Structure formats: C-alpha cells, structure tokens
Amino acid sequence: MVEIKEDKKIDKYIKKYKLDEIFSVDMKPYMKLFKINKGEYICRANEKMDKLFFLVEGKAKVYISLENGKSLLLTFNKPLEVIGDIECVKLDKSDSNIEVIAESYCVAIDFKDIRKYAINDSKFLIYMIESLGKKLSRSSKHSSINLLYPLENRLSSYLLATSVKKSNEDFRLVTECNLIEMSELLGCSYRHLLRTLKSLSEMGAIKKSGYFYEIVNKEILENLASDLYDE
C-alpha cells in the first residue's frame, strides 16, 4: 500500500462519490489516497487498524480465519465500500481479512482525525449506521448462501468475481488458482471442488490452461451464479 500524492486524482474520487458530503465539517484536508496492488491487504484479522478506508476503485475479497486454521469467504468489496467503520467506533482489531484481487485505490482518513473532528458529527454517524446496516444485511445473505446454495452455484459466482480479462479476447482468465485455498474459502472439500470444476468444464463453461482456468462461456457461469457474491 502506497500513498498517491496527486491532488487531481484524489479530488476526482471525492467528487465522484461525494465523500466531502458525508461530514458536516470539512474533512478534505485529512483525506489521503492510497494505491493497493493485487495480493496486498487493506487489513488483516486481529491486527490494529488506524484508518477509515473508502474503496473507490478496484475489488477485494473479504474472508475470516477460523480457529482450525482454515478460511471462509464472506463477500467481495467493490466501490463504494467503507472499510474500518466498526474498528473506528470500537477501537479494536480487524475481525476479517480484506485482500485486494485487482489493483485498487482507497481514500483514507486517520482514525485520530475522525475521532477528533467527526466522532460527534450526526451527519457522519448516520452515514456510518447506514453502512453498518448494509453490511449486516449482506452478512445475513452470505451466511445463507454458504449454508444453502450448492457448490456449483457458489463456485460459478466466485470464478466470475475473481476473474480478469485477458487482452481484448472475449473470454476471461481466472487468476492463478490455489485450489486448497479456494476449497477452504468456499467451505468445501478439495475433492468436491475438483469434481465441481470438472463438471463446469464438461458443461463448456471453463477449461484448464496450465495453472489457470479460462472462462470460455461466461453466460453459463452467469446463469449458475445468479450474482450470489455480487451486489
């Protein structure tokens, strides 16, 4: 994560998402822009956070680390997403991992500045409550998804959410797969994942290409996915 000191670029994001209208006071002087590369983390579970982030470009996956050492996918974050709202209020460590899966940008404000100038700002607090309400609703939905939807549907949604375009060709290329990690995130066994990948391949939706899976028929996956992880 690196700070980008370009006034025009940060002003573009502030204007696009009306971030200056969230507060009753002028917080623009305390807003900073950060670039986060693919594979980097905005936050990690059980680590202290010191900034409130607004994801303004890119995409990140959110997952929790379980006591048995495995991980479970919760959702995907895309603009505009608030990250650190709970931590900002309760002065605690992050309870989830947020890993960037495509080059991303975040506008950030230090917690110390939030607590000094905005913690009693009713306009800002209403915005935070709305953000937390949306997250609670989404969390309930995704808990149901993990319990009730077949792996075929969840995997299709996951592949679409984590895929990237390859040049200007029609198909999309899924990022290099760690299948053990993928099976943990989706809450299934390694063998079950392999069987489902094979099934999607037999349908003509994907094909194995070295260490990657190419999406050769996006429509098949979209019909199966039903936007499970995409809102």
pLDDT tens digits for range 71-129: 888 888 889 999 998 888 777 788 889 999 889 999 999 999 999 999 899 999 999 99
| φ, ψ dihedrals at 230, nearest 5° | -125, 125
pTM of the model: 0.81
Q: Is 149-225 assigned to CATH 1.10.10.10?
A: yes
b/e sequence 12-33, b meaning 16+ C-beta within 10 Å? ebbeebebeebbeeebeebbeb
- Give the architecture-level CATH label for domain 2-146: Sandwich (2.60)
Paired residues of 107 in beta bridges: 33, 54
- Name the E strands within the chain: 2-3, 31-36, 41-43, 51-65, 71-77, 81-83, 97-110, 163-165, 172-174, 206-209, 212-215
211, with CB counted inside 10 A (0-12, 13-18, 19+), is: exposed
Per-residue pLDDT reduced to its tens digit, 163-218: 766 655 555 666 556 788 888 888 888 899 999 999 999 999 998 877 778 888 88
Domain extent listing, the chain: 2-146, 149-225
Q: Please state, in angstroms and rounded to a whole number, the distance separating the CA atoms of residues 29 and 142.
A: 37
Q: What is the DSSP letter of 216?
A: S
